[in-house]
């Protein structure tokens, strides 16, 4: 029976380096795939709206109605589920890819002793530089404005895209996906705040491996489940969606009574969203108490 030859310490070190380099390359590939999928999803949403506008213009120019209806059906279908599915796959690829590209994922040598599997794997990675973090927040704001801001403004002015006739209307798709984009953007901005405050806590000596008051609670909130970012993201979603109460109630063809009736729901939804964002930001500011490094994470199971 052949006994496998035991590797020397130098050989183990070289093997570890090769595996790490391979994982980093795979992470870059996953990240590129994620960016491409996200770009395609955005192209389907924005391009679909522009194409439906052209179909609407063709109708006004006397184009065959059956042909226009067929084109509108195809474009509407392309804007319904495909962008959401692509965005989901993009997120999965980017989360795993960025952790591998900027660090590593490995088995937890000391998993907690719990009834069900928990934190079986841990990740360690370099945090995103400030300039890139700010850049992606800015990109998110631009996308959110295009998909949410422009349709909402058109409700009040009666301009494009509100001027597109009902059978070719696409504002609803833009609002839905734009609201999700704004939710992600608010979460990213909260993450930026979290990083800034944590690094200040490190510089002042407050953030240590020992953690701070309420360590177990804040570790569970800010590190294990990232509830600070979830709160902020859900709040951002509420803020973006709060404007939908004015749809059909304002603009050249709006009704003053309907517009007045929409104000109270708008304030309620907007206020709830703002409260959630503030709570998320407050929670993010407590990360230094968790006793964990910023560029780290653990698996649910």
pLDDT by 10s per residue, the chain, length 301: 555 567 787 777 787 788 889 999 999 999 999 999 999 999 999 999 999 999 999 999 999 999 999 999 999 999 999 999 999 999 999 999 999 999 998 899 888 878 788 898 999 999 999 999 999 999 999 999 999 999 999 999 999 999 999 989 999 999 999 999 999 999 999 999 999 999 999 999 999 999 999 999 999 999 999 999 999 999 999 999 999 999 999 999 899 999 999 999 999 999 999 999 999 999 999 999 999 999 999 998 8
DSSP 8-state secondary structure symbol assigned to residue 107 = E
Cβ distance 235 to 277 under 8 Å? yes
Name the one residue in this structure whose structure tokens are 């980017």.
94
Q: Where are the domains of the chain?
A: 9-105, 128-293
pLDDT of residue 62: 92
What is the rounded CA–CA span in Å between residue 66 and residue 50?
20
Residues in the chain: 301
Count of CA atoms in the C-beta half-sphere (13 A) of 112: 12
User: Where do we find the tokens 């994620």?
Assistant: 34
Dihedral of the alpha carbons of 278, 283, 285, 289, in degrees to the nearest 10: 170
Tell me the pTM.
Answer: 0.93
Q: How buried is residue 30: exposed, middle or buried, by Cβ count under 10 Å (0-12/13-18/19+)?
A: buried
């Amino acid at each position: 029976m052949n006994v496998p030859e035991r590797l020397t310490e130098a050989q183990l070190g070289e093997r570890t380096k090769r595996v790490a380099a391979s994982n980093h390359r795979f992470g870059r590939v996953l990240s590129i795939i994620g960016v491409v999928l996200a770009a395609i999803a955005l192209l389907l949403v924005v391009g679909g709206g522009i194409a439906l506008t052209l179909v609407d213009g063709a109708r006004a120019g006397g184009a065959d109605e059956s042909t226009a209806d067929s084109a509108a059906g195809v474009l509407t279908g392309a804007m319904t589920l495909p962008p959401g599915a692509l965005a989901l796959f993009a997120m999965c690829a980017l989360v795993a890819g960025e952790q591998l590209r900027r660090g590593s994922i490995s088995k937890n040598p000391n998993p907690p002793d719990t009834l069900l599997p928990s934190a079986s794997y841990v990740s360690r990675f370099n945090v995103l530089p400030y300039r890139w973090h700010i850049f992606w927040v800015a990109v998110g704001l631009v996308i959110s404005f295009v998909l949410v801001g422009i349709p909402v403004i058109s409700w009040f002015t009666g301009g494009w895209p509100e001027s597109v006739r009902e059978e070719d209307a696409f504002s609803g798709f833009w609002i839905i996906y734009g609201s999700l984009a704004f939710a992600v953007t608010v979460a990213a901005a909260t993450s930026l705040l979290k990083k800034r405050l944590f690094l200040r806590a490190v510089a002042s000596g407050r953030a240590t491996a020992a953690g701070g008051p309420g360590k177990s609670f804040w570790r569970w909130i800010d590190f294990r489940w990232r509830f600070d970012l979830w709160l902020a993201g859900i709040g951002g979603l509420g803020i973006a969606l709060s404007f939908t109460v004015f749809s059909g109630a304002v603009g050249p063809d709006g009704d003053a009574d309907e517009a007045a009736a929409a104000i109270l729901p708008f304030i309620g939804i907007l206020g709830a969203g703002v409260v959630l964002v503030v709570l998320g930001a407050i929670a993010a500011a407590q990360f230094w108490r968790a006793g964990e490094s910023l560029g780290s994470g653990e698996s649910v199971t």
